[in-house]
Structure 1
Amino acid sequence: MSDEDWDSEDEHDITERIDEAHADNPRLTVWLAEQEGRFDEWGRRHGGGWDFGEDSLDRVEALVGEHVTSVDDLFTREHTPLIQVACWYAGEVHNRTRGTRWRMDPRPADSHPWSKRPYVIVPFARLHEYRDPEGIDYDARPRHHPLSSFLALLREGPKAGQGSLRSELDDCA
């Protein structure tokens, strides 16, 4: 697509097109299938009884805290089933309790490492419910990168307190 095509569209159309591209692409499809396929074994290995309820996010926090000791350790383990399925699970709790949906950039930018990672976001149809208080961003829907949430837990340490992942659910209510 040329710059001229982008210039002729309004922000709403561009935002919708980006949302659609991030919603339906092979990178996301493969990642979701891999994590869902790993979930049963992951769940058994980590205590069973994973019900996708809000309170189970406390267990995810504890699990990450038990196995990951630092931010560097998290990035070292990022592509292991432990972390990838934990990310998928945390996102699925958002999806099932707050109606968010998975997204992933089909063509991530090397200059933007977060564009390589999956995230959950409120559906485009609810765009109008979220306004940027500063009026800068057209798309102010809450977006959650589960890995970023785990990073925040590690950076904040014990002062984050149990329930940090659960508190993020309120953004999408």
Structure 2
Amino acid sequence: MSDEDWDSEDERDITERIDKAHAENPRLTAWLAEQEGRFDDWGRRHGGGWDFGERSLDRVEALVREHVTSVDDLFTREHTPMIQVACWYVGEVHNRTRGTQWRMAPRPAGSHPWSKRPYVTVPLARLHEYRDPEGIDYDARPRHHPLSSFLTLLREGPTAGRGSLRSELDDYA
């Protein structure tokens, strides 16, 4: 997109176009279907009883801490069912308890590694509920990349205690 194109559209139009492209694309559809298809087996392997409730995020947190030893280990194992389904599960808890929705860039930018990964955010219809306190960003909706949440867990270390994943739900208040 050229600078002239940006000038001819207002921020709302640009935000709507990007949001729609991130919500409806084959990359996201395929990723969601793959993780949902793996979930039953993943759930059985990791104790069963996964109910998509807020408190179940403590179990995911414990699972990540148990199976992933470092940030490097997380990136090495990022594309395994263990990590991908855990990411999907965390996002689904956000969706089911806070009304967020999945998004993923249809064509990731090589210069932005997080554009390759799925995330959850509040629907565009609720944009007005979130204001940037500095008034810089038009779109101040909270956005969570589950893999980034796992990075935070590993950087905090085990002394941070449980509840880190669950505390992210407060961002939607």
Q: Report the alpha carbon displacement of residue 164 of structure 1 after superposing the two structures with TM.
A: 0.5
Structure 1 CA distance for aligned equivalents of residues 140 and 84 of structure 2 = 26
Q: Which residue of 2 aligns with 1:146?
A: 146
- Work out the percentage of aligned pairs sharing the same amino acid: 90
2:172 aligned with 1:172: yes
The 3-state SS of whatever aligns with 1:120 is: strand
Deviations for 1:119-150, whole angstroms, at most 9, x for unmatched residues? 00000000011011111111100000000000
Q: Report the alpha carbon displacement of residue 81 of structure 1 after superposing the two structures with TM.
A: 0.1
2:121 aligned with 1:107: no
Query: Is this contact kept in 1: 2:27–2:106, CA < 8 A?
Result: yes
Q: RMSD across aligned C-alpha pairs, in angstroms?
A: 0.9
TM score, norm. by length of structure 1:
0.98
Q: Report the alpha carbon displacement of residue 3 of structure 1 after superposing the two structures with TM.
A: 3.8
Q: Which residue of 1 aligns with 2:24?
A: 24
Deviations for 1:108-128, whole angstroms, at most 9, x for unmatched residues? 111100000000000000001
User: How many matched pairs?
Assistant: 173
Q: Which residue of 2 aligns with 1:123?
A: 123
Q: Which residue of 2 aligns with 1:11?
A: 11
Structure 2 CA distance for aligned equivalents of residues 66 and 106 of structure 1 = 33
Unaligned runs of 5+ in 2: none
Q: Which residue of 1 aligns with 2:34?
A: 34
Q: Report the alpha carbon displacement of residue 6 of structure 1 after superposing the two structures with TM.
A: 2.5
Structure 1 residue ranges (4+ consecutive) displaced by more than 4 angstroms after TM superposition = none
Query: Map of 1:154-165 to 2, 5 A cutoff?
Result: 154-165=154-165
Q: Report the alpha carbon displacement of residue 2 of structure 1 after superposing the two structures with TM.
A: 4.5
Q: Which residue of 1 aligns with 2:88?
A: 88
Structure 2 CA distance for aligned equivalents of residues 82 and 74 of structure 1 = 10
